Amino acid sequence: MNFAYRFLGSTSASSDAASSSFAFAPDTLRQPTFFTGKVARHLAFREAISALHHVVVSDLRFKPRDRTAYFEWLKQNEANFLAEATAQSAALKPRIAELQDRIRGFDRERDRLMKPFWAARQSYFNYLYKQNRDAWIVLDPVITVHPDEIFFECFSLDESSYGRLSCDHDVFESLGEMAFGTTNIDYSHALYDEFQKIRSYRDTTLTIDPSGFEVQTGDDLDFREEKIDLPDSWVRGFLQVSSAMTLPAHVFDLHPVDMANILTRLAQRKEQAGPRSLRFVLKPDAPVEVVIEPWHDRLTFRRSIYRGKSPAEVRIWGRRRLAILGRALPLARSVQVHLTGTGLPSFFVVDFGGLRFTLGLSGWTANDWSSAGQFDLLAPRHRIDNDTAQRVFAALGKSHTATAAELAQHTGVDQALVHAALTAYTQAGRVMFDLDKSLYRLRELTREPLSPAQLRFASAQEEKADRLINANLVTIGNIDRNHGVRAINGSVLDNARTEQVNLVIDDDDRLVEARCSCHFYGHNKMMRGPCEHMLALRRIFHSQVEGVAQDGPAIA
Amino acid sequence: MQREEAFPALWDAQPQRLLRIATLARNHAAARFAAGALRQGPPRPDAMDVAAIGGLLASPYPEVSALAATIARRLIDAGKADAALIAALLQAPAPDMRDLAIRAIDDRPDWPFADAALARAALTSPDEHVQGRTRGWLRDRAPSRDQRARATEAFAAWLAQLPAELDDTLRAGLAAALALLPQLWPDRDCPLQPEVIESLTGHASPDVQAASIQLIAVTPTRPDDLPTAFWQAILQADAPEIRIASMSLLARLDDAALAQHRDGIALAATGAHTGLRAAARPLVARLAATDEAFAIRLHDALMAGFFRTEPVEGHAADMVTLFVEALPQAAAAIDDGTLWRLLQARAAGARMLGAKLLESRDASRFSVRQLARLGNHSFATVRRFALHAFATDEPRFRADPQNAVLLVESEWDDVRTVAVNRLTAWPSNALPAAALAVMADSTVPAVQDGARLLLRRSLADGDVAEVLGRVLEHPSGSFHLFVTELITGDSLADAAIFAKFLTQARIILMQINRGRIAKDRIFTALRNEALAHRDRAAAIAQLLHDFTLSVTLRDKAPALIILRDIAHAWPDLTLPVTVARAGRTLPGGGSQTSGNAA
């Protein structure tokens, strides 16, 4: 998906003995959004925004070793190896040895001559990596200025972590003029270094610079236009995690030291095999317990009591991403945890008092087919007509923030329908649900509205699976369970033909084996990922058998 | 060596045929045969060799080139090399042939100008070495007017036979000759016939047309007498070569006549073509020197352009050169504020102009803070300016240490390393705590090391508390450990410092899986403070209470022990924990010390 931005100049940051200032350059193609204020909670702001930076640059995807050079060497020496293998005559061997010797001599000479070039090239690449680290940022964070707070949102490079830093206006002193709205900012790695220089004895000014909106003609060549091509998967991941904030969740508070204990245990050991989940054991009015697999290390948090009404056990994966919270915990008052369900996104809200940092983790780290088809977070959850939805959206637009109850009162629309409308807009990236304050906010993620229908499915197989499920053509047969591994048999009626499907899901909720009688599987096996029948059976299994709620009324 | 051909005698009887094959063959075997046969055959008349030498030299085959070299040396050594031979050698692709020709010319004082063809060959050589020697000959062996005229005629004849499309070699030779024209005709009295020049203006090649214009420029023809249509044609020609050449013609106009073309000249000097900009520049300087209004308009246009992105690569640098050369007084008059704006601008042109103007400015006109900022400039010349100021005017920097340390903020190693080395060599009292804190704030480890060195030195005769107050908020792990070196009862006496210390203590103690030494020192300091001051004990107890939750025994144990010690030291203090002796039952669920149960 292509996005275009237009910045007047670049974001700048500077510090000296007396002050630090950060001036973010907003996207002038969007509705004017600006802000200026002097930070009053210096250290908390510094730690929180540093944690946000770590989300922006986070990439925990497996990076295989680069074997290009090895394969190149192999290709160049193939002829040698072939000659050696086939040489039968004793007379040929000395000739082969002589030629190989000459070749080695040429190679040495070539290496000697090329060495300065290779060294210079590597220095250049190192310089580029160091000086152009900003190229590694996929999408610059968005900033939203609202009547009660300003907040930054971002999504990580590996499409698995969401970050949000919200600052109430009383975190600032000397507030200047502001214009409400959402804009993209020109973010850079150099900003992180300047954030580290924030001190309580220095005035720290944060500005979202309005000057770009004041230039009438826009012909000034100081404007900088950027066009980026975002992968659909990245946008989809962002919307999925954001949509999950509207799901019902198990909510409880953890003491910051309790959260630090989880990180400490994870940092002390490295698992060689699965399962690799964190299992939260929740019992009403009892201390929260966390089991760290595969070691079954059980932590009991005596000062963190679960106040929910019904017990639950929720497993989450990709736990190493929680290390991002390490920077934020020391100055936190509490950590509120929102668990939407096993394998579904989870949210950790670190409260500093006036500032809140939210880390949202998707249900997976590697967005590959082993976790595909579990849930469809972008599936329409409720039916609502366009006119009603637009009325609700317009009402939210007037105040920028509101609870569902307030919007129901203003519009006269039933509260359940208000939820439904706002959920749909959340899935479209135009509204977000604020977990901290339990209300909805107008937040246009992109300048032009996204098309949820276009982004909903990662592949044609997912789309077909959705049609099969909606048509009730999926039947679960028998399920065998063995030490957390589930073998599921089922059938799917597709085009008047019944396809037999077998799935094996391991204890880390990964699809590790699958078979289907369809042509797609017969032709491709698993090289092109699971077929639509496998995906459909898996979704039905997770929702009907394992009972993970994927819709329902959002939290009020 | 055995001759390979069947009838060597037949070939020997007609060596001109062998020469023809060697010259014209473009088959290696044929050329090799002919060269070999010529070498082994009987001697030939010199005239035959001389006639063929040009073609032999042009052969792409080494055997034939070697044969040509042998012939040439033989003829030169025998004193039989004529100008035609030398001219052919001068135009040979092989450098040693050209060197042979140069030596031969050096040995003849009347060469190359005594022979028109030889002179032309020297003038139009594309080889830089030959060009250099030609300039020398022109200077040292001043040709007569007649010789110059004949050389120019030969040059014109050479121009006329050039193809419509010139390759790089021909273009280089043409450019070399044109560059020498002013030296050849300093008085602009070249007697070349107008008809000859006129015929060249109609040549198919724009390069030749341009050359014809440059020939006009060295003739007595008054540019004022040239028809308007001619001027329009050359000034508005599509080919930039012609427009470039027209600039040299314009240069011969007097100021009044030149002024009539000022708009076109200004456009050329600021346009997209590199060569045209360079050619028009001297004319712009002349116009600006004689027309104040033009100079003002030029100044305003250039200054506005400097703050914009350059339209083509290289444009900004040329505009800077134009500004400095055409408007020297305006450049000198640029005030310090404008200069600063230029240096700090994002646009390359503004920065280049700023850097250029800086060369002639005194560093004393900039504050220490500004000089420190210049130390982070992307232009090396500007950074050197700042470093030179730092080196030569150190007392001024010492008088403003808080801004002097900003030099260490530079992203450039050449400045940062020098700055750190110099600052760490200053006396320990030269950098106050506030300045050291700025240095310590750097995210570069080498600078942080320098800062810690200076901080340690400054503690001997400085205020530890003030230093501590600055570094207590440092987020770097290396400074966490440093902070624990400074913690003493005296340094924490101030309530505000103590409050900062508590915050930093929490940050240090909550590091995940690292910082053990710093943590242990923090626990020790917390214990000391809690036992020494009742009013601090409560706050410390609150902090330690959180760490009783820790799963790390080396954190949990000291927290519990210190809480116990606090309970014993201050029995009437309300604590978040209950302390009881082992083996004793707490009466009524209460505690031996006052306080709430955990």
List pLDDT tens digits, range A17-32.
Answer: 778 888 888 888 888 8
Encoded amino acid at B197, one letter: I
Q: Three-state SS for A196?
A: coil
H/E element holding B19? Answer: helix B15-24
User: Of A134, A158, A188, which residue sits at a domain end?
Assistant: A134
pLDDT-derived band at A287 (thresholds 50, 70, 90) equals very high
A441 and A541 belong to one structural domain: no
Q: A152 in a domain, yes or no? A: no
Nearest Cα residue to B508 out of B538, B467, B474: B474
Is B308–A222 a contact, with Cβ atoms under 8 angstroms apart? yes
3-state secondary structure of A245: coil
Q: Residue B241 pLDDT more than 50?
A: yes
Would an 8 Å CB–CB cutoff place A197 in contact with chain B? Answer: yes
pLDDT of residue A218: 43
CATH of the domain at A517: 3.10.450
Q: Does A219 touch chain B (CB under 8 A)?
A: no
How far apart CA A121 and CA A125 sit, in angstroms, is 6
Q: Mean pLDDT throughout A139-152?
A: 89
* Residue pLDDT, tens place only, B329-368: 999 999 999 999 999 888 889 999 999 999 999 999 999 9
Scored b (16 or more CB within 10 A) or e, A465-501 reads bbebbeeebbeeeeeeeeeeebebbbbbebeeeebeb
Same domain, A444 and A465: no
Alpha carbon distance A26, A211 (integer Å): 9
B566 touches B575 (CB < 8 A): yes
Reduced 3-state DSSP string for A474-509: EEEEEEEEECCEEEEEEEEEECCEEEEEEEEECCCC
Rg (alpha carbons) of chain A, rounded to whole number? 27
Q: Distance between terminal CA atoms of chain A?
A: 33
If pLDDT is split at 50, 70 and 90, which confidence band does A545 have? confident
Residue A85, in any domain of the structure: yes
A130: closest chain B residue by CA: B411
A285 and A316 share one domain: yes
> In this structure, what token pair is assigned to residue A421?
């409308």
Interface test with A, best of B473, B542, B545 (most A CBs within 10 A): B473
The beta-carbon neighbor of B549 closest among A199, A303, A330 is A303
| Shortest Cα–Cα distance, A326 to chain B (Å) | 7
Residue B1 reports pLDDT greater than 70: no
Residue pLDDT, tens place only, B473-521 = 999 888 898 889 888 777 888 899 999 999 999 999 999 988 999 999 9
- Pick A196's closest partner by Cβ from B406, B443, B546: B443
| Cβ atoms of B576 and B567 closer than 8 Å | no
Same domain, A262 and A360: yes
- Sign of the CA dihedral running B113, B114, B117, B118: negative
- DSSP letter (8 states) at residue A89: -
Contact between chains at A261 and B551 (C-beta distance less than 8 A)? yes
* B435/A193 touch (CB, cutoff 8 Å), yes or no: no
- Give the mean model confidence (pLDDT) for residues B548-570: 94
Contact A267 B443 (CB under 8 A): no
**Is residue A277's pLDDT more than 60?**
yes
Note whether B449 and B468 are within 8 A (CB).
Answer: no
C-alpha distances (whole Å) from B440 to each of A294, B413, B443 are 43, 17, 8
- pLDDT tens digit string along B411-451? 888 999 999 899 888 887 888 877 887 788 888 888 888 88
Pairing between strand A35-39 and A346-351? unpaired
Averaged pLDDT, B165-184: 93
Residue of higher predicted confidence among A378 and A56:
A56
pLDDT score of A492: 95
Give chain A positions within 8 Å (CB) of B512.
260, 263-264, 267, 323, 326
B551 min Cα distance to partner chain A (Å): 6
- Mark residue B193 as left, alpha or beta (left: phi above 0; alpha: psi -120 to 50; beta: remaining): beta
pLDDT, one tens digit per residue, over A414-444 is 888 888 888 888 888 899 999 989 999 999 9
Identify whether A434 is part of a domain. Answer: yes
A212 in reach of chain B (CB within 8 A):
no
Residue contact B546–A257, C-beta within 8 A: yes
Residue B504: predicted pLDDT: 94
Amino acid at B389: A
A225 membership: H or E segment, kind and range: strand A223-229
Asked if the Cβ–Cβ distance from B549 to A261 is below 8 Å, we say: yes
**Amino acid making up residue B545:** H
How many CB contacts within 8 angstroms connect chain A with chain B?
A: 89
Average pLDDT over all residues of chain B: 89
A59 pLDDT more than 80: no
Contact B510 A258 (CB under 8 A): no
A225 at B interface, C-beta within 8 A: no
Name A227's bridge partners: A4
pLDDT tens column, B507-557: 999 999 889 999 999 999 999 999 999 999 999 999 999 999 999 999 999
This prediction has a pTM of 0.71
Report which of A165, A178, A243 is spatially closest to residue A207, judged by C-alpha positions: A178
3-class SS letters over B87-145: HHHHCCCCHHHHHHHHHHHHHCCCCCCCCHHHHHHHHCCCCHHHHHHHHHHHHHCCCCH
Please indicate whether residue A340 or residue A555 has the higher confidence score (pLDDT): A340
Q: Find, among A188, A312, A324, the residue nearest to A267 by Cα.
A: A324
Q: CATH number of the domain that A433 lies in?
A: 1.10.10.10
Bond before A380 cis per omega within 30 degrees: no
Q: Are residues A347 and A320 in the same domain?
A: yes
B347 CB neighbours in chain A (<8 A) are 221-222
What is the per-residue pLDDT across B300-333, written as a single tens digit (0 to 9) for each? 999 999 988 888 999 999 999 999 999 999 999 9
Round to whole Å and give the CA distance between A295 and B16.
Answer: 98
- Contact with chain B for residue A328, Cβ under 8 A: no
Rounded (10°) CA dihedral B482, B483, B487, B490: 110
Are A331 and B506 inside 8 Å of each other by CB?
yes
| A268 in contact with B, Cβ within 8 Å | yes
Both structure tokens of B371: 């000089």
**A264/B441 Cβ within 8 A:** no
Vertex A293 angle, CA A291 and A297, to 5°:
50
Minimal Cβ distance to B473: which of A10, A199, A220:
A199
Give the number of domains in chain A.
4
Which of A426, A454, A482 is the last residue in one of the domains? A454
Secondary structure (DSSP) of A389-405: HHHHHHHHHHHSEE-HH
**Cβ–Cβ below 8 Å for A323 and B512:** yes
Predicted local distance difference test score (pLDDT) of residue A222: 61
Residue with tokens 């080494």: B62
B441/A197 Cβ within 8 A: yes
Which residues, other chains included, contact A274 with Cβ-Cβ below 8 Å and sequence gap of 6+? A293, A294, A506, A507, A508, A510
- Measured distance CA(B146)–CA(B123) in Å, rounded: 16
Using an 8 Å Cβ cutoff, are A447 and A29 in contact?
yes
The answer to whether residues A301 and A263 belong to one domain is yes
- List CB contacts of A415: < 8 A, sequence separation 6 or more: A404, A405, A408, A556
Q: What does residue A437 show for φ and ψ, rounded to 5 degrees?
A: -110, 5
The Cα–Cα gap between B9 and B29 comes to 20
Clarify whether residues A353 and A254 are in a common domain: yes
- Between positions 456 and 475 of A, the ones with CB within 8 A of B are none
pLDDT in tens, A523-539: 888 777 889 999 899 88
Min Cα distance B385 → chain A (Å) is 21
- B253-283: pLDDT as tens digits: 999 999 999 999 999 999 999 999 999 999 9
Specify whether the backbone of A293 is left (phi greater than 0), alpha (psi in -120 to 50) or beta. Answer: beta
Looking at beta carbons, which residues of chain A come within 8 Å of B406?
A: 16
Q: Residue A440 domain-assigned?
A: yes
Residues belonging to chain B with any Cβ–Cβ distance to chain A shorter than 8 Å: 307-309, 346-347, 369, 402-403, 406, 409, 434-435, 437-438, 441, 443, 469-470, 473, 475-476, 500, 503, 506-507, 509-513, 546-547, 549-552
Which pLDDT score, from 0 to 100, does residue A128 have? Answer: 59
Q: How far is CA B63 from CA A533, B7, B17, B49, B286, in A?
A: 77, 21, 17, 16, 57
Tell me if A329 and B510 make a contact (CB, 8 A cut-off).
yes
Furthest CA-CA distance within chain A: 98
**C-alpha span between B499 and B351 (Å, rounded):** 46
Residues A344 and A258 in one domain: yes
Average pLDDT over residues B231-249: 89
Considering the domain architecture, whether residues A324 and A401 belong to the same structural domain is answered as no
Identify all chain A residues contacting B435, using CB atoms and an 8 Å cutoff.
Answer: 17
B511 neighbourhood in chain A, CB within 8 Å = 326
**Domains in chain B: boundaries:** 1-108, 366-462, 474-598
**Secondary structure (DSSP) of B487-501:** --TTTT-SHHHHHHH
Q: A203-208 and A19-24 as β-strands: parallel, antiparallel, unpaired?
A: parallel
Peptide bond preceding A248 in cis form (omega within 30 of 0): no
One domain for residues A240 and A300? yes
Selecting from A257, A258, A267 the residue whose C-beta is nearest the C-beta of B513 gives: A267
**Per residue in A188-227, pLDDT tens?**
777 888 899 899 988 999 988 777 665 544 445 566 667 7
Instruction: Check A17 against B476: CB less than 8 A apart.
Output: no
Q: Residue A233's pLDDT is what? A: 77
**pLDDT band for position A236 (cuts 50, 70, 90):** confident
For residue B251, the number of C-alpha atoms closer than 13 Å in the C-beta half-sphere is 19
Instruction: Please enumerate, as own/partner, the contacts of B364-367 that have beta carbons within 8 Å and a separation of 24 or more.
Output: B364/B393, B364/B396, B365/B336, B366/B336, B366/B340, B367/B400, B367/B403
Show the tokens assigned to B406.
Answer: 């900003």
- Does residue B598 carry a pLDDT above 50? no
CA distance A139 to A232: 12
Would you state the pLDDT for residue B534? 93
Count Cβ atoms below 10 Å from residue B218 Cβ, excluding itself. 22
* Residue B288: per-residue pLDDT: 96
Provide CB contacts within 8 A for A430, sequence distance 6+. A393, A442, A443, A444, A445, A449
For an interface test with B, the pick among A46, A195, A264 (most B C-beta atoms closer than 10 Å) comes out as A264
Give yes or no for A16 touching B (CB within 8 A).
yes
**Are the CB atoms for A328 and A337 separated by under 8 Å?**
no
Distances (CA, A) of A212 to A175, A216, B558: 20, 9, 56
Kindly report the backbone phi and psi dihedral angles of residue A320, in degrees, each rounded to the nearest multiple of 5, phi listed first: -65, -25
Residue A415's domain comprises 386-454
- Report which secondary-structure segment, H or E, holds A300: strand A297-306
Q: Does A189 reach chain B within 8 Å, measured CB to CB? A: no
Residues A439, A501, single domain; the answer is no
What is the nearest CA distance from A131 to chain B, expressed in angstroms? 10
CB proximity A508 to B under 8 Å: no
Residues A316 and A404 in one domain: no
Relative to beta strand A346-351, strand A334-339 is antiparallel
